[in-house]
Every structure is written in structure tokens, then in C-alpha cells.
């Protein structure tokens, strides 16, 4: 079930209405859990079995870890949990990729090939697997007391606003909220909007999330699809524009989903963390990953990077190795393919290079130039050039096409004859790209702009929301487009 469909609007309206009518907390949790399973079943059908397995597997093994007094036994149980959870993820997401590599090798050495499994990739499996694993690992580390209620843990894993595309929640942040009263007013809608700040803010966040997805991302997509369907033959200008367009598309698409999830959760009385923080104004590769897909980058940092650094004796080499390994994991988390591994290697190389410069040449970061306005602008432009370069293998999977796009993006050919015809034939997508950068710059200069809009007097707030809705409807063609991160 897509957020940008009438089915979701109906489901969310029914859920909110039911929670307003029935104030018993236990009933609300059960009903929300049932609604989450219905949402997931509507989206993935019988693959809901995998979600249920992940929930049961992690709940009872985490409890076994907590109940055990033997450190060795705790470790063995954790290993069993990791094998089961990651094994399930690997089977559905990476098995055919592994078989393909084996078959390529077998073809050259004369071995028999293995048939492909052709398993359907379950929507959201990377998100809910990592979310459940963080709970079990935190219990093993002694940082979290396991939940006594299976119902509460199942709700944490399956909470439908963020179930299929994040953000990746942490149990110690989310589970305590289940013991609080759900603040959904039973008064008139007007009174609820006036007195319930969470409701008004949640609706505002959702509205701008829909705008990012349906107004920006979906209207830029045709340009991206046209160029990257077969990029060979396009000049550098076209390749650069299409690459920037894809960067905007994937950001608006994914952060739009996140905003809808955060807003919906807030309306239901739950706070989930932000996943983006103006990433296109990052001043270094390290800064970028504190602003982009924050829940994934912090997950990998806490459960992969820090443990690796702690165990490796050669500290300097250990840091570089841990960075590269962590970002290759981030790349492969997105999908089974060499292109995703390349994405991870590129970002890992950026972070490793930036780390080496900071450690070995600290004088560079202390130069007054980089603290000036011009220096900050230069830092942003260099960072974004590297970031958009790394978007190329994320979008282009063919090796031949990828190498061609890399060449045109890095080595400018200065062909200008097609610039005007290309711009004129893609006026609408390019206009949306310009609008995006205007909005992004305003958001960068004025913090909490969405929150400030939600605090406006009701009549002005309604006017702005009607403007957002009108813009979406005017450019909507009636065919809902999948969110890009549904495939991960």
C-alpha cells in the first residue's frame, strides 16, 4: 500500500477515528498492531510471514540472552540470532546475486551452474531486520532491558508508518512511548487543530512530505528515466543535469516518505527520529552522512564501525578498514549488485580520505579560508560534486553505461549544441529542479520552517496547506508512483 494512494488515506482516517473513539490504551495498541499487519499484508501479501518470523525470533532470543547468566551462552545465542535474521535477509535479497557470481565462475572453469531461486524481494525487509537486530544486540550489550510484552515488541517492529522504508527505530527510544497516553483529541476537528499541536504539526509534515514526493520527485523522474535508460551518446551537460536531477529525485522521494511517516506517527501520538537534515548543504563527506539517511548511518556506526575499531589493534589502519567495511555494508544494504558495492566504496573512500586529511594534516581544516563564506561555499560544492558522482552507480547498473556516464561527468566535453534543445524539451522537470533548490535553500536559512508553519493561525495554516494540495493535484497524473526505497 503506497502512501500516495486513496487506500492509505482511507486506512489512516479509519485508524485515527478509531483511536479517537476508543481511549483504552491496550485496545489502541492492539488495534494499531492489527492495522500495521493489515497495511503490510495489503502491500506484501503472504510475505508477512517473514515479518512475523523476524518478530518472534528476535523477541524470544533476546529474552533468552537476558535470562542467561553465562557470557559464552549469551554470545552463542546472539550468533544464532544473527545467523537466523541475516540469513533470512541474505536468502531473499542476495541469494540470486551470489548464484550469479558462482555461475559466472563456473562457466569459465567448466562446473555445472546452479539454478536461480527467483525469490520475490520482500518490501521493507532490510528496514525491519536491522530494527529488530538493534533490539537484540542492545539487550546483549546490557543497554536495554527486554520488553516483557510480546505485543509491545511486535508493535515496535511492525509500526506501519515507518515499516517499509524507515526511519530505522531504536527500541530504547520507541518502546517507552507505548506506556504513555496516546494524545488524540475527541473534540471537533477545528478544536483539535487549535489545541493539539502534535496533530497540526503532524498534518503539516505529512503535507510537505507528499509535496516532496508527488510534486518534486515524480515530476523530475521523466527526465532521469529518459537519459539513463540509454545514456550513451548524451553530452556532458545532459549527463550532469540528469545526475543532479536523480540526486534531487531520490532525496525528495525518500525524505518525502520519511516526512509522511514522521507526520503520521506524530498524529498517532508517537515521535520517530528525523532521517534527513538538509544534506545538500553538507560541507564534507563526513558531514553529509550526518545529514543523509541518518538512521542507517548511525545504525552501521553503532553496530558495525565502533565494534570493528575496538577490536582492531592497529588504530590508524583499523579506522580506515572499519570505514571502508562499514560503507560497503551500507552500499550492499541497498541492494544485491556490484553497482551498490561501488556506491559504498566511493563513499567509504571519501570518508577515509577526509579522515586521513584531518588526522595527518590538521592545519588544512584550521585554515581561515574554510571558515569564511567563500570557503564554506567551496566546501559545499566539492562535497556535492563527490556525492552526485556516487549517485551514478546507484542509478546506472550496466557497466558500459556506468563507465560512459562517469567519463562524461568527470571529463567535461564542452559540447554546447544540444544544451538549448534539451532545456526546452524538458522545461517542466528543470523548473522543478530549480524550485527544489529554492525550497532547500530557504529551509537551510530558516530552521524549523515546517514547525513554524504549523504554529500559524488556523486560517493562514489552512491557506498554505490548500496551496500545497493544489500544487500536488494540478501536476498529478492519477498514477501513483512507487517510493524508490520500497525496493530496499
- CA pair distance 334, 488, nearest whole angstrom: 5
The three cell numbers of residue 473 are 493535484
420: exposed, middle or buried (C-beta count within 10 Å: 0-12, 13-18, 19+)? Answer: exposed
Cell match 557470557: residue? 71
Q: Among 195, 293, 334, 440, which one carries the catalytic annotation?
A: 334
Determine whether 347 is an active site residue. no
Cβ atoms of residues 216 and 252 within 8 Å: yes
Cβ atoms of residues 15 and 1 within 8 Å: no
DSSP result, 127-167 = HHHHHHHHHHHHHHHTSSPPPS-HHHHHHHHH-GGGTTT-P
Pick from 159, 166, 139: nearest CA to 60: 139
Half-sphere exposure for 116 (CA within 13 Å, toward CB)? 11
- CA pair distance 421, 384, nearest whole angstrom: 27
For 227, the 3-state DSSP assignment is: helix
Beta strands (DSSP E) in 134-260 are none
The three cell numbers of residue 377 are 561555499
For the chain, the residue count is 488
**Burial readout 29-38 (b: 16 or more C-beta within 10 A, e: otherwise):** beebbebbbe
Helices (H), 268-372: 285-288, 294-300, 306-311, 315-334, 338-360, 362-365
The three cell numbers of residue 427 are 522545461
Active site members: 334
Amino acid at each position: 500500500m503506497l502512501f500516495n494512494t486513496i487506500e492509505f488515506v482511507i486506512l489512516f482516517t479509519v485508524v485515527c477515528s478509531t483511536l479517537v473513539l476508543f481511549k483504552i490504551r491496550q485496545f489502541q495498541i492492539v488495534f494499531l498492531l492489527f492495522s500495521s499487519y493489515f497495511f503490510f499484508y495489503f502491500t506484501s501479501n503472504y510475505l508477512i510471514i517473514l515479518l512475523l518470523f523476524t518478530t518472534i525470533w528476535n523477541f524470544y532470543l533476546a529474552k533468552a540472552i537476558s535470562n542467561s547468566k553465562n557470557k559464552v551462552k549469551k554470545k552463542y545465542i546472539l550468533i544464532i540470532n544473527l545467523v537466523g535474521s541475516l540469513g533470512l535477509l541474505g536468502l531473499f535479497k542476495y541469494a540470486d546475486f551470489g548464484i550469479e557470481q558462482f555461475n559466472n565462475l563456473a562457466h569459465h572453469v567448466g562446473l555445472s551452474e546452479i539454478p536461480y531461486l527467483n525469490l520475490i524481494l520482500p518490501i521493507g525487509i532490510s528496514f525491519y531486520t536491522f530494527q529488530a537486530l538493534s533490539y537484540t544486540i542492545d539487550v546483549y550489550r546490557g543497554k536495554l532491558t527486554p520488553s516483557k510484552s510480546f505485543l509491545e515488541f511486535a508493535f515496535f517492529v511492525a509500526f506501519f508508518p515507518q515499516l517499509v522504508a524507515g526511519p530505522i527505530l531504536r527500541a530504547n527510544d520507541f518502546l517507552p512511548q507505548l506506556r504513555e497516553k496516546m494524545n488524540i483529541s475527541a473534540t471537533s476537528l477545528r478544536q483539535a487543530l487549535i489545541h493539539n499541536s502534535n496533530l497540526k504539526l503532524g498534518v503539516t509534515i505529512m503535507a510537505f512530505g507528499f509535496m516532496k514526493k508527488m510534486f518534486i520527485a515524480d515530476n523530475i523522474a521523466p527526465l532521469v528515466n529518459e537519459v539513463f535508460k540509454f545514456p550513451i551518446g548524451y553530452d556532458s551537460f545532459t549527463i550532469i543535469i540528469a545526475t543532479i536531477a536523480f540526486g534531487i529525485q531520490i532525496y525528495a522521494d525518500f525524505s518525502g516518505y520519511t516526512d509522511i511517516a514522521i507526520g503520521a506517527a506524530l498524529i498517532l501520538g508517537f515521535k520517530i527520529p528525523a532521517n534527513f537534515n538538509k544534506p545538500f548543504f553538507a560541507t564534507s563527506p563526513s558531514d553529509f552522512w550526518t545529514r543523509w539517511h541518518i538512521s542507517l548511518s548511525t545504525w552501521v556506526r553503532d553496530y558495525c564501525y565502533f565494534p570493528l575499531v575496538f577490536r582492531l589493534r592497529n588504530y590508524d589502519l583499523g579506522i580506515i578498514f572499519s570505514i571502508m567495511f562499514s560503507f560497503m555494508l551500507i552500499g550492499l544494504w541497498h541492494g544485491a549488485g556490484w553497482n551498490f558495492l561501488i556506491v559504498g566504496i566511493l563513499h567509504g573512500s571519501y570518508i577515509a580520505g577526509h579522515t586521513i586529511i584531518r588526522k595527518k594534516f590538521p592545519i588544512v581544516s584550521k585554515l581561515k579560508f574554510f571558515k569564511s563564506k567563500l570557503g564554506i561555499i567551496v566546501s559545499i560544492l566539492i562535497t556535492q560534486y563527490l556525492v552526485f558522482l556516487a549517485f551514478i552507480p546507484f542509478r546506472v547498473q550496466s557497466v558500459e553505461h556506468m563507465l560512459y556516464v562517469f567519463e562524461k561527468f568527470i571529463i567535461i566535453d564542452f559540447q554546447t549544441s544540444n544544451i538549448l534543445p534539451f532545456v526546452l524539451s524538458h522545461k517542466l522537470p528543470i523548473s522543478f529542479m530549480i524550485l527544489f533548490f529554492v525550497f532547500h535553500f530557504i529551509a537551510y536559512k530558516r530552521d524549523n520552517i515546517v514547525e513554524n508553519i504549523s504554529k500559524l493561525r488556523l486560517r493562514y495554516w489552512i491557506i498554505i496547506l490548500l496551496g500545497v494540495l493544489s500544487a500536488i493535484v494540478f501536476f498529478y497524473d492519477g498514477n501513483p508512483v512507487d517510493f524508490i526505497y520500497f525496493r530496499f
